[in-house]
Copies of this chain bind each other. A is one copy, B any other.
Amino acid sequence: MATARPGPNLSRIAASLGVSVATVSNALSGKGRVSAELVERIRATAATLGYVPSQAGRALRTGRSGVLGLVLPDISNPLFPQIAQAIEHAAAIAGYGVLIADSRGDVGTQTEAIHRLVERGVDGMVIVPRRGTRIADAGCPVAVIDTPSTPGNTVSADHWQGGREIASHLRNLGHRKILLIGGSSASSVQNDRIGGFKSALDATIKTEVLWIEKLEEQDGPGCLLGLADKVQQGFTAFAAVSDLHALRALTELQRAGIAVPDSASVTGFDDLIWSPVVTPALTTIRMDIAAIAEIAITALVSAIQNGEPIKKGRPREASADEPLHVNRLVTAEKSRVPMQLVVRQSSGPLGLASTNLSAGELLT
């Protein structure tokens, strides 16, 4: 005997009204072909009985689970909550649930996480891929959130433009020697931000890039970045590719007795949770994550609804000799969502207070 679900089902409603389950189903799903009066009675009975449709029954019949997967590269990424929230919200509006999968650590785990989602019967998934990962056929529609410089179709913030915004901001404030602070040179998001940054400046402005990862290989995790020295060398602005690094820079400068923004400006990226409340509040660049999520979910849902039924199978990593993103990428073209500058107190015009630099060098 099969395990009965305790709640009422279509048959129960049908029986209590003396109609057929087909009619109840049609009435409840609004598929028409049922008289308005009967629809009303059926609705009312369903409500009284506390009817909750069985996803399992529906899924088995329709071949669709109504669930999307969300694969995240590194769940401990401080940006993750925002992404998860936005995706969950957009999916809920579209009538889908969201299963999470954490691909913590290596690419193998990511492949496994994707497979777990497929096993659970997701109709499609949103993947924020690990650095440098390619996603091959997952067996279902996939939306990739990454930087536009990733091969294949993606939806993402326009990191390059974001870099340009912050660069212009600092240039307009009079900075002429700027240190860019990056985490890992393998990150295409970070490279895009840095590339955009540099592209907005002419030769009169000097930039240098500091990769924290390389520094930490020598000096250990959490080491100082040597920013006091950089100030001595004439750097007046520190533009980090993430608020996390900006925070590190800000506190290091402050600890060294260098006033921000009086003697040095600091900027970040992403408008993470602490950015508005540190002192001085952090100037940063914000992605429109809600817009990104909506584009991804909309594309995904339309691919699901128009596409062939779900093909099951093991996901695999792309091998070197096949084109990238051979899976059913759902976005018709790369989407670049503009980023927005958020000016706060950590970046200001130069020369507010004592500094080791000559005023002439600072102000234009």
Contact = CB atoms under 8 A, between A and B. Distances in A.
Residue with the highest number of chain B CB atoms closer than 10 Å, among A53, A59, A89, A101: A59
Residue with the highest number of chain B CB atoms closer than 10 Å, among A2, A118, A247, A280: A247
A54 interface: yes
A269 to B, nearest CB: 14
A314 B61 CA distance: 24
Contact of A54 (B60, B88, B89, B92): B60
A2 B62 CA distance: 7
A273 interface: yes
Interface string A57-99: 1011111111100100001111011101100110010000111
Given A3-B61, A77-B81, A248-B278, A66 B308 contact: no
A312 B60 contact: no
A255 interface: yes
A244 interface: yes
Contact of A57 (B60, B77, B314): B60
A9 to B, nearest CB: 9
A279 to B, nearest CB: 4
Interface of A, secondary structure class, is loop
Residue with the highest number of chain B CB atoms closer than 10 Å, among A80, A255, A311: A255
Contacts of A64: 3
Given A278-B248, A311-B6, A85 B76 contact: yes
A84 B3 CA distance: 31
A121 B250 CA distance: 48
A251 B279 contact: yes
Nearest to A76: B81
Contacts of A98: 99-100
Contact of A104 (B85, B104, B250): B85
Contact of A254 (B3, B55, B101, B254): B254
A224 interface: yes
A308 B5 CA distance: 10
B247 A278 contact: yes
Nearest to A216: B277
A151 interface: no
Interface of A: 2-8, 50, 52-57, 59-67, 70, 75-78, 80-82, 84-85, 88-89, 92, 97-102, 104, 116-121, 221-222, 224, 244, 247-248, 250-252, 254-255, 257, 259-260, 273-274, 276-281, 308-314
